[in-house]
Amino acid sequence: MKILVTGGAGFIGSNFILHMMNKYPDYEIVNLDKLTYAGNLENLKSLENNPRYTFIHSDICNREIVKIAMTGCDAVVHFAAESHVDRSITGPSIFIETNIVGTEILLEVAKDLKIKRFHHVSTDEVFGTLSLDNKNEKFNEETSYSPRSPYSASKASSDHLVRAFIETYDFPATISNCTNNYGPYHFPEKAIPLFITNALENKPLPIYGTGLAVRDYLYVTDHCIAIDLILHKGKIGETYCIGGDSEMNGIEVADTILDLLEKPKTLKTFVEDRKGHDMRYAMDHSKITKELGWNPSVTFEEGIKKTIAWYKENEPWWRKIISKEYLDNNRAQANK
């Protein structure tokens, strides 16, 4: 099988490529990535000379390059997206362009080329927010969409586009909505890698508002396994919710990391809350468990220890990323 992976130099995409290349010795991967600030080819350095791996530096909004990249592929796994809520609040236009227009271009080209399977990777944020009071309430495949940020609105739009192609053109697609991922290669603007790298440098851990907002966390390799299963065994036209059974608020996440690194709790710092901050996400993954036999295999306790160990062992990777020169260069490249 030959698979086009969009956004494969990003956090989840690079972990997925490594998973697939290791598991399937006869598979070929084409990685199409614009290399914006969060894309990093060092994540895939081990594949540089692998004849089964091809990297194409381009934008999913470039229809001609998308066609070149997709030609000869059997399947598409679509990760490419602008994904940080805070950035969507200060500059929503790029989220509309990449997440909506880019997805439409991929769908059109895939339809024209008669791609056998298109898998669209989405987020739990399209569903809005849950109450902190009712712990039994969770998102599932039947939950109505209620996006509350420009990021989640753009992802909701892309989900609807995929469903429209399924219904209108009998297009062979599947969708997955996943909770918060963490693990190796996570760009250190997101909470967990930011907390880890700041704690290692004895810097404050910034916690939004009261710190009571809850997220459901999933170790990234478990997400990759779920997508692998959906790609090979999922039913065309279906959506699958992927959850980690690990609900924690910001204070609990910070305390866990500080305890494991033996750092003082005084490093916790409360900052102004995010605009339109969703208070709780949680996912019911019973459908993918029942139909495909998937369950999260890494507990948060295990996963956070692995993640901390990875950041300690790969200090040059994240130090380079948080350097001003690196960020400036990547922002300039993204704006070209």
Strand partners, 6: 32, 78
Calpha distance 162→166 (Å, rounded) = 6
Residues 6 or more apart in contact with residue 216 via CB below 8 angstroms: 124, 179, 180, 243, 244, 245, 246, 247, 281, 282, 283
- The answer to whether residue 284 is catalytic is no
Query: Strand, helix or coil at 294?
Result: coil
Annotation marks residue 124 as catalytic: yes
The DSSP secondary-structure symbol of 283 reads B
| Residue 326 bears catalytic tag | no
Dihedral sign, Cα of residue 64, residue 68, residue 69, residue 72: positive
Write down the catalytic residue from 124, 216, 222, 284. Answer: 124
Catalytic residue among 53, 151, 281, 311: 151
Distance CA 48, CA 55 (A): 9
On whether the CB atoms of residues 188 and 83 are closer than 8 A, the answer is no
Pick from 11, 5, 7, 8: which is nearest to 182 by CA?
11
CA distance 69 to 76: 10
Q: Which of 28, 125, 222, 284 is catalytic?
A: 125
What sign does the CA torsion over 36, 23, 242, 303 have? negative
Instruction: Go through 44-69 and write b for each residue having 16 or more CB atoms within 10 A of its CB, e for each that does not.
Output: beebeeeeebebbeebbbbeebbeeb
Q: Which amino acid is at 85?
A: V
Pick the closest to residue 6 from 55, 48, 42 (CA basis): 55
Would you name the residues annotated as active-site residues? 124-125, 151
